[in-house]
Amino acid sequence: MWTCLRRALGNCRRFQAAVRRDVAAHRQKSGDVNKAVKAGWAVERGWEDVLRGRGRRRVL
């Protein structure tokens, strides 16, 4: 599911901005620095893997 979503919207800047906002909101809620750092990295590269919980820092 995430792969299809990323193929359809991966290059859409508005979508990427929305994901960044979601990550920022999650950061404030959780207060978990580690998760926030992972999520921030994930927005930039291969975020779908982190959302799946693999935690692998792979560039897609």
Query: At 58, phi and psi to the nearest 5?
Result: -110, 135
% of the chain residues with pLDDT over 90: 0
Look at residue 52 and tell me whether its pLDDT is greater than 70.
no
* Selected residue with higher pLDDT from 30 and 17: 17
pLDDT tens by residue, 14-24: 667 777 777 77
- pTM for this structure? 0.28
- Listed by start position, the domains of the chain span 2-51
- Give the span between the Cα atoms of 19 and 44, in whole angstroms: 10
Query: Residues near 50 by Cβ (< 8 Å), separated by ≥ 6?
Result: 38, 39, 41, 42
